[in-house]
Structure 1
C-alpha cells in the first residue's frame, strides 16, 4: 500500500500525551502518544459547494510512528474547525468522531463529500480550534 510521507516534528512528552487537544506553535499538529504506529487522515469542510454538493477535501494516509507528532496544516489556522481520523490497522483501533467523510484504502486526496463506490466513509473528529494560530490534537491511547 502506498502512503504519503510525513516529517516528524517532535517526540511526544508525557505532558503532551495527557491532553487531548491544546494550543501549539503555528499550524495544526497531531500527535501519537501510543506505543503503536497509526495512520492519519485529515479533512476540511471548505464551506463552498458545487453542482454535486458540499466541497470537503480529505487526504490520507499519513503514517505516524509511536510517540511522534506531525504538522497536518502549516501556518496560521484559517478555519474554525478541522477534521481528523486515525486508525491502527494492526489492532483495528480507530479514533473516530461524528462527521462522515470520504476516504480510500490507498493514499488519497478527495475533493467532494459525495462518496462513490470507490470510496468509503469514516467518522472524523471535528476539532474546534477557535482560529488559534496553532493547535495540537493528540490521539490518546
Structure 2
C-alpha cells in the first residue's frame, strides 16, 4: 500500500530549559504587512502561553511567513527570562494586540521583546536557558 508523503511540520516553538514556569508572548508582523516595509504599528502581539520547565510550547502552527519574530518571556513573578530590546505591548491577561506603540496610553503594558532571526526557515525553536547565578 502506497501512501502520500505528509508535508513537513512547520511551526515556531519555545522550549523552556530554565528552572521556572514561564509566561510567553510573541510578536510578529501583521498579515497584511508581511513582506513590506513596516513600522512598529504594523505588528501584532499575542500571549500568554504558560510553559513549565523542560517543556515546549508551539506558538505558531503554520509555515513562518516572516524572517523576524519577537519573543517575551517572564517567570510567574514577572521577572524577565529573556533579554530583549524591542518595545511591544502586552496585557496582564490573555491578549491579541494589533498595532504597537503608545502601549501605556492605550491601557497596555510595555515589554522588551527579544528579536529572533529565523534565517527564513519554515520551522524554528527558541530555547530559554536558566539565568546565570
Q: Same fold by TM (over 0.5)? A: yes
**1:123 counterpart residue number:** 112
Q: Which structure's residues are more often strand, by fraction?
A: 1
For structure 1, which runs of at least 5 residues remain unmatched after alignment? 1-24
Does residue 134 of the first structure (1) align with residue 118 of the second (2)? no
Q: Secondary structure at 1:90's aligned position in 2?
A: coil
Q: Deviations over 1:17-49 (max 9, x none)?
A: xxxxxxxx5211101011221100001123739
What is the Cα-based RMSD across aligned positions, in Å?
2.0
Q: 2:57 is matched with which residue?
A: 70
5+ residue gaps, structure 2, are 1-8
* 1:34 aligned onto 2:18: yes
Are the equivalent residues in 1 in contact too, given 2:72–2:113 (CA < 8 A)? yes
> 1:45 is matched with which residue?
29
User: Within 2, Cα distance between the matches of 1:131 and 1:94?
Assistant: 25
**TM-score, length basis structure 1:** 0.73
Query: How far did residue 98 of structure 1 move?
Result: 1.2
User: Aligned with 1:69: secondary structure?
Assistant: strand
Distance (whole Å) between structure 1 residues aligned to residue 11 and residue 72 of structure 2: 17
TM-score between both structures, scaled by the size of structure 2: 0.77
Q: Which residue of 2 is the match for residue 11 of structure 1? A: none
Find the aligned partners of 1:91 and 1:78 in 2 and give their Cα distance. Answer: 30
Counterpart in the other structure of 2:84: 97
Aligned length: 114
Greater radius of gyration (CA): 2
Distance, in Å, in 1 between the alignment partners of 2:24 and 2:91 is 12
